[in-house]
């Protein structure tokens, strides 16, 4: 069974208060989403398998460690894009795949419009990223799309989750680790997270 981790770190809490604030504008919202992405990456990579290597220093040989498998970031479009730069701060060599989905406003079901993945993804440490885990439909669909293409080591990285989404994702993909910066109260009648932060894609890209 994959684990569910909700980080409780003063820096993340402080940054969450910025993105939740309805008065925060696009520039600060985008910057802070990326900063949370960086902080979450620092914590999540703790769990990654390492290999020992010998490094020749000016004074001898040092036993060092490197992350064993390549890291691939898969943002769920659009809002997942907001975290990619922040993850690249700590893992600059990570390749990026894209899964394009939007929620049908009435049914809340995800509609797929784009999938493009790097060929190394099947054995990589894969980070599926989307700041919002609401009903869970988008994350479930994106992860199923990866599994159909033989992708194996999948982690889901969100920022704000609803209990409904966590439960649905765990049931659909029990092997996937779920990492969040906050677990909120519930969904409202329109499928938005309460208290949440509103429409993340619109706030990131200024489309409302
Ligand atoms: C939002 C968000 C997630 C999805 C979460 O995307 O970025 O992808 O909703 O909701 P769910 O857990 O109920 O599926 P949206 O459909 O608004 O598309 P956008 O990112 O292009 O704005
Ligand atoms: N998508 C968002 O952007 N926000 C929510 O609260 C739910 C889904």
Q: What mean pLDDT is predicted for residues 27-46?
A: 98
**Rounded-to-5 percentages of helix, strand, coil across the chain:** 35, 30, 30
Ligand 1 centre from 20 Cα, in Å? 16
Give the predicted TM-score (pTM) of the model: 0.96
pLDDT tens track for 68-88: 999 999 999 999 999 999 999
Ligand 2 centre from 65 Cα, in Å? 39
How is residue 87 annotated by DSSP? H
- Please report the beta strands in 97-207, taking only residues with DSSP state E, as ranges in sequence order: 98-103, 110-116, 125-129, 132-133, 153-157, 160-161, 177-180, 182-183, 186-187, 193-194
Buried b or exposed e, range 132-154, using 16+ CB within 10 angstroms: bbbbbbbbbbbbebbeeeebebb
| Alpha-carbon distances, residue 58 vs 55, 61, 63, 85, 168 (angstroms) | 10, 9, 14, 34, 53
Q: Is the dihedral of CA 69, 87, 182, 74 positive or negative?
A: negative
> Is the CB of 76 within 6 Å of ligand 1?
yes
Q: Across all residues in the chain, what is the average pLDDT?
A: 97
> Is the CB of 9 within 6 Å of ligand 1?
no
> Is the CB of 193 within 6 Å of ligand 1?
no
Nearest ligand (C-alpha, residue 102): 1
For atom 2 of ligand 2, the residue with the nearest CA is 199
pLDDT tens track for 148-181: 999 999 999 999 999 999 999 999 999 999 999 9
Ligand 1 atom nearest residue 191's Cα: 13
pLDDT tens track for 97-138: 999 999 998 999 999 999 999 999 999 999 999 999 999 999
CA-closest candidate to residue 115, choices 164, 163, 155, 149: 149
For atom 3 of ligand 1, the residue with the nearest CA is 132
């Amino acid at each position: 069974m994959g684990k569910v981790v909700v980080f409780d770190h003063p820096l993340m809490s402080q940054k969450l208060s910025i993105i939740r604030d309805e008065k925060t504008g696009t520039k600060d919202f985008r910057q802070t989403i990326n900063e949370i992405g960086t902080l979450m990456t620092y914590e999540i990579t703790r769990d990654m398998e390492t290999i020992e290597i010998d490094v020749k220093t000016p004074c001898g040989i040092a036993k060092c460690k490197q992350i064993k498998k390549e890291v691939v970031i898969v943002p769920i479009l659009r809002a997942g894009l907001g975290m990619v730069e922040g993850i690249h701060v700590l893992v600059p060599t990570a390749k990026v795949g894209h899964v394009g989905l939007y929620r049908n406003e009435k049914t809340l079901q995800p509609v797929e419009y784009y999938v493009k993945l790097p060929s190394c993804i099947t054995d990589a440490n894969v980070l599926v990223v989307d700041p919002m885990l609401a009903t869970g439909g988008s994350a479930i669909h994106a992860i199923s799309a990866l599994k159909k293409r033989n992708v194996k080591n999948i982690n889901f990285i969100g920022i704000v989750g609803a209990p409904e989404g966590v439960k649905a994702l765990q049931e659909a993909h029990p092997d996937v680790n779920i990492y969040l910066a906050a677990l909120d109260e519930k969904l409202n009648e329109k499928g938005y997270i309460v208290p949440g932060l509103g429409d993340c894609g619109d706030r990131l890209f200024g489309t409302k």
